[in-house]
Amino acid sequence: MKKIGILSVLAIAFIGSFSFDSSNNEEVGKKMPSVMLEDLDGNQINSADITNDGNPIVISFWATWCKPCRLELNTVAEEFDDLVEETGVKLIAVSIDDERNKSKVRPVVDASGWEYDIWLDTNSDLKRAMGVNYPPQTFLIDGTGNIVYSHVGFVPGDEEKLYEEIRKHSK
Amino acid sequence: MKKTLFGLLSLVSFSSTAQIGQGGTVTGNMETNVQYLNTDTLIGAFAPEQKLVANSYMNVNYSVNKFRAGVRFESYLPSIAGYPQFYSGSGLGYRYAQYAGDKITVTAGNFYEQFGSGLIFRSYEERALGLDNAMNGASIKFNPRQGIELKGVIGRQRYRFDSGNVFYSDAIVRGVDGSINLNDVIPGFEASDLKISIGGSLVSKYQSANNDTIIIPKNVGSYGGRIDMSYKRFYLNAEYIHKDNDPTALNEYIYNPGHGAMVNLGYSQKGLGIILAAKSIDNMVFRSDRDVLGNQLMINYLPATTNNHTYNLAGTLYPYATNPFGEVAYQLDVFYKIPKKTKLGGKYGTDIHLNVAVATDHVRHTSGVNPEATYVTYVGRPFDMTDSILNFDFNFHISRKIGSKIKASVHYFHFIFNNDVNNVTKFAHGYIVSDIAVLDVQYKINKKHSIRAELQGLFTKTDRGNWATALIEYTISPKWFFAVMDQYNYGNPDESMQLHYLLGSFGYIHDNSRFMFSYGKQREGIFCIGGVCRPVPATNGLTFTFTQSF
């Protein structure tokens, strides 16, 4: 058991260091994992099947009780129409609200006037598969399905970097 | 077992080095929390002998085509302040292998799963609270066609993590669940405005028993159904679960059956949303070991019927959690946006949110029952409420953008908290009535720099009296943040306990890595995430947190 323990630590440290090297900003080749979720109408969605006609897609993990998450989505909403026109971007806001708050997702989205696709990740399956620790965390997927950028947390001004990345990866 | 682990690991490590050639993907995350603690007898913070404590986690998932495998390494050397004592040592806390085909997904090893709303079965992880009831066994999901999903699970639940080894429940948990989206399966119904899906679950547990005085059921079943409907702007979802008699240490070995029922009725359009929620619970402790106390090994999940408060004074002092032995609860939410460019709404519009929640005890009918003969102590009926309040929560929020640089919000909360039922403080008995006011202002100095201030006051005549909290946060996008928070218990009836709890923090973010240092005193209180609450002791010292995802 001890030997296995040591080996596993080594294996994990190795994978960790490997992925650390390759991760930040150069996640070329990394695709969306395949997880089954639902949208607000109860339709089943496979997260790996998303497409946007070769245009970039933003995946934003949020929750109704997470203030910085809502600040981020509200901030982006202010310029979203222009951004869509310019880059063809699509934003999918993945709610990790569990059963306690799940029914509040639809009114929060409607009251905020967000024109995003909404996915419900009620038991955090996609959150786990994408390695998200705590919300908000935002990913950018380029036209060929590769995850090309990711940022954790949101403070005012962070949207500029996101817009810059979206523009860089639009056609 | 050990060989499997090793095989899995070698596979993961081998494949990760070869990922580019084979098109596989490695994802995961890591988190480290390190604390250097000082003793402060005034606030009841005690440094352990080791002085330095640390919790660390790393998740690694590897996927290639339809195959996925992963492990989580966990380490508690020793566990951080306030974390459950049953976490110690270093080792593998979670490992799985999965094949996800077009119609069938099979998982072996550890997995998380939820049936319906979770009232019958939810296995999940809430790491910050030390909650993890992962299954260890096998699961299968079958989607024979669009709109139909069948699930089956079997396994034991994670109980504790001791000296680097995971221990699982005594009981085996088995369950099946099915759901059908009627719009997908009934021809001609696809385009209807009326959307309906239905589902049903059956979960049972088996645990051996040797009790000389009473006959304990070794197999305990639970079953129920659910419906989700929407028609244009209206939506309704409801679930009802029945649980067979399940005498346990927690319910004092009664033979009553149990039930859980939840109904959400909503209306939502652009700028306006209204939801009414109702919940009824009776004898719904359903766990994979009848002799265990504490909050481990829960098979089902009973969500709290209140708003999830995040302002410190509103969220930590008097938090309500569902009473699993029985309660009836209602909640109303109204979200409204006063339109922009109106007199009342201002240039950018104003957001309003009203939330009212009440939970009461339920009626226990005792006429006609014969507890001596049947061990059934009462009869409980759904939504049969009493006037004995367990919790009342009224809160109101207004937020508005003032000009292009300022965002401000005001919040008011009124709580009536029954400390006899849900004991969170030793300084009060019965009902604790409190009012909380919060002002939150954010000013954007320029494109990258912004400053935010929070002022909070809690006013109560009981318990530890009034509190005030002030917070100032300065952020420089996208890398830096600095914050200072002071909590001041200025109204404590004991003058020597009118203390300041000063906490300073700063952090650095690089894309998906985040470092944070904080130094100072943290108040004893209840820490809640996702409706589950755990007491944390007072701590005093330096905390370092690092999170990364990859």
B507-519, pLDDT tens digit by residue? Answer: 999 888 999 898 9
Mean pLDDT of A10-28: 44
Does the structure show a pLDDT above 70 at B433? yes
| B28 to A151: CB separation less than 8 angstroms, yes or no | no
How many other C-beta atoms can be found within 10 angstroms of the C-beta atom of residue B252? 10
Is B118 in Cβ contact with A98 (below 8 Å)?
Answer: yes
> Mean pLDDT across the stretch B115-133?
91
Same domain, A17 and A59: no
Q: Scanning every residue of chain A, which has its alpha carbon at the shortest distance from the alpha carbon of B66?
A: A34
pLDDT band at A5 (very low <50, low <70, confident <90, very high): very low
- Using DSSP, state whether B454 is helix, strand or coil: strand
What's the token pair of residue B445? Answer: 């100095």
Give me the pLDDT at residue B239, please.
Answer: 97
- Give pLDDT, residue B85: 86
| pLDDT tier at B129, thresholds 50, 70, 90 | confident
Express each pLDDT in B177-215 by its tens digit.
999 999 999 999 989 999 999 999 999 999 998 877 778
Domain count, chain A: 2
Of B28, B273, B277, the CB nearest to A106: B273
CA B32 to chain centroid, in Å, comes to: 21
Looking at the structure, do residues A71 and A115 belong to the same domain, yes or no? yes
Average pLDDT of the residues of chain B = 89
Residues B76-104 pLDDT 10s: 999 988 788 899 999 999 999 999 988 99
pLDDT score recorded for residue B19: 42
Helix (H) or strand (E) holding A30: none
d(CA B323, nearest CA chain A) in Å:
14
Mean pLDDT of B109-129: 93
The predicted pLDDT at position A23 comes to: 41
In a shared domain, residues A7 and A36? no
Contacts of B112 in chain A (CB under 8 A): 123-125, 128
pLDDT band at B311 (very low <50, low <70, confident <90, very high): confident
Separation between Cα atoms, residue B383 and residue B362, nearest integer Å: 8
Residue B31 Cα, gap to closest chain A Cα (Å): 8
- Residue from B210, B370, B358, B348 nearest B290 by CA: B210
Other C-beta atoms closer than 10 Å to the C-beta of A98 total 26
Shortest alpha-carbon distance between residue A50 and chain B (Å): 15
Rounded Cα–Cα distance for residues B415 and B353 (Å): 17
Give the pLDDT score at B536. 61
Residue A74 exposed, middle or buried by CB count within 10 Å (0-12, 13-18, 19+): middle
Helix (H) / strand (E) containing B268: strand B258-269
Please write the tens of the pLDDT for every residue from A45-66. Answer: 999 899 999 999 999 999 998 8
A67 vs B: CB within 8 A: yes
Higher pLDDT, B229 or B525: B229
Burial of B366 from C-beta contacts in 10 A (0-12 / 13-18 / 19+): exposed
Q: Is some CB atom of chain B closer than 8 A to the CB atom of A81? A: no
Distance from CA of B447 to the nearest CA of A (A): 6
pLDDT for B530 equals 36
Distances (CA, A) of B138 to B218, B327, B375, B381: 22, 34, 36, 36
Q: Are B395 and B412 in contact (CB under 8 A)?
A: yes
Q: Do B512 and A137 touch (CB under 8 A)?
A: yes
What per-residue string of b and e applies to B164-199 under the rule 16 or more CB within 10 Å gives b? Answer: bebebbbbbbbbbbbbbbbbbeeeeeeeeeebbbeb
pLDDT band of residue B219 (cuts 50, 70, 90) is very high
Q: What is the pLDDT of residue B535?
A: 56
pLDDT tens, residue by residue, A72-113:
999 999 999 999 999 999 999 999 999 999 999 999 999 998
Helix (H) / strand (E) containing A17: helix A2-23
- CATH number, position A130: 3.40.30.10
> Do A51 and A87 belong to one domain?
yes
Distance from CA of A171 to the nearest CA of B (A): 23
ipTM of the complex: 0.90
- Say yes or no: A110 and A131 in one domain: yes
Inter-residue contact B333 to B306 (CB < 8 Å): no
Q: How many CB atoms lie within 10 A of CB B208?
A: 8
> B58-72, B201-215, B377-391, B522-536: which has the minimum mean pLDDT?
B522-536
Cα separation, A19 vs B205, whole angstroms: 40
The 10 Å Cβ neighbour count of residue B471 is: 18
Give me the mean pLDDT over the B416-439 stretch. Answer: 93
pLDDT value of residue B413: 98
Q: Residue B101: phi, psi to the nearest 5?
A: -85, -170
A4 and A68 inside one domain: no
Contact A85/B at CB under 8 A: no
Residue B496's CB: how many other CB atoms inside 10 A?
7
Q: Do B266 and A151 touch (CB under 8 A)?
A: no
Question: How many degrees, rounded to 5, is the angle at CA A18 between CA B89 and CA B543?
Answer: 45
Residue B403, class by beta-carbon neighbours within 10 Å (0-12 exposed, 13-18 middle, 19+ buried)?
exposed
A6: pLDDT strictly greater than 80: no
Task: Report which of B298, B302, B303 is spatially closest to residue B248, judged by C-alpha positions.
Answer: B298
Cβ A158–B477 below 8 Å, yes or no? yes
Note down the domain range covering A21.
1-28
**Residues A10 and A38 placed together within one structural domain of the fold:** no
Together in a domain, A103 and A143: yes
pLDDT-above-90 percentage for chain B? 70
Rg for chain B (alpha carbons), in Å? 25
- Residue of A12, A45, A59, A149 to mutate, testing the B interface (most B Cβ within 10 Å of its Cβ): A12
Residue A44 and residue A98 in one domain: yes
Complete DSSP assignment for A38-107: EETT--EEEGGG---TT--EEEEEE-TT-HHHHHHHHHHHHTHHHHHHHH--EEEEEE---TTTGGGHHH
Check whether the bond before B478 is cis (ω within 30° of 0).
yes
Q: What is the pLDDT of residues A137-163, one digit of tens each?
A: 999 999 999 999 999 889 999 999 999
Same-domain pairing of A23 and A35: no
pLDDT recorded at residue B387:
92
B179: three-class secondary structure by DSSP: strand
Mutation choice for A interface testing from B25, B27, B409 by most A CBs within 10 A:
B27
Asked if A33's CB is within 8 angstroms of B266's CB, the reply is no
- The residues facing B151 across adjacent strands are B141, B177
Residue B522: its pLDDT value, please? Answer: 78
Q: Which tokens go with B23?
A: 């098109």
Q: Identify whether residues A36 and A109 lie together within a single domain.
A: yes
Q: Identify the CA nearest to A102 among candidates B359, B239, B86.
A: B239
pLDDT at B345 over 70: yes
Tell me the average pLDDT across B287-299: 89
Contact list, A126 vs chain B (CB under 8 Å): none
pTM of the model: 0.89
Least confident of A4-13, B67-76, B201-210: A4-13
Closest by Cα among A120, A37, A50 to B235 = A120
Q: How is B283-336 classified by DSSP, letter by letter?
A: S---BS-TT--TT-SBSS----SS----SHHHHHSS-----TTEEEEEEEEEEE
User: Looking at the complex, does the CB of residue A163 fall below 8 Å from at least one CB of chain B?
Assistant: no
Structural contact between residues B312 and B487, judged by C-beta atoms closer than 8 angstroms: yes
Quick check: B15 pLDDT over 50? no
pLDDT for the residue B537: 66
Q: What is the DSSP letter of B217?
A: P
Banded model confidence at residue B319, pLDDT cuts 50, 70, 90: confident
Q: φ and ψ at B137, to 5 degrees?
A: 170, -125
Write the residue in B60, B91, B310 that is nearest to A65 by C-beta: B310
Q: Which residue has the higher pLDDT, B291 or A21?
A: B291
Structure tokens at B218: 């070794």
The CB-side HSE value for B508 (13 A sphere, CA atoms) comes to 3
Q: Tell me the C-alpha distance between A38 and A47, whole Å.
A: 10
Best to test chain A binding among B4, B6, B13 (most A CBs inside 10 Å): B13
Residue of A nearest to B16 (CA): A15
Q: How many whole angstroms separate alpha carbon B395 and alpha carbon B453?
A: 20
A161 neighbourhood in chain B, CB within 8 Å: 477-478
Q: Looking at chain A, how many residues does it have? A: 171
* DSSP structure class, residue A142: -
- Smallest Cα–Cα separation from B107: which of A95, A61, A48, A125? A125
Min Cα–Cα distance to chain B from A88, Å: 23
What pLDDT, on a 0 to 100 scale, did the predictor assign at position B72?
A: 96
Say yes or no to pLDDT of B353 above 50. Answer: yes
Q: B404: exposed, middle or buried (C-beta count within 10 Å: 0-12, 13-18, 19+)?
A: exposed
Binned at pLDDT 50, 70 and 90, residue B400 comes out as: very high
pLDDT tens string B230-256 = 999 999 999 999 999 999 888 888 999
How confident is the model at residue B423, as a pLDDT? 87
- In angstroms, the Cα distances linking B155 to A28, B134, B291, B304 are 37, 9, 19, 27
pLDDT at B21: 43
Give pLDDT, residue B526. 60
Q: Is A100 exposed, middle or buried (0-12, 13-18, 19+ CB in 10 A)?
A: buried
Q: Clarify whether residues A127 and A53 are in a common domain.
A: yes
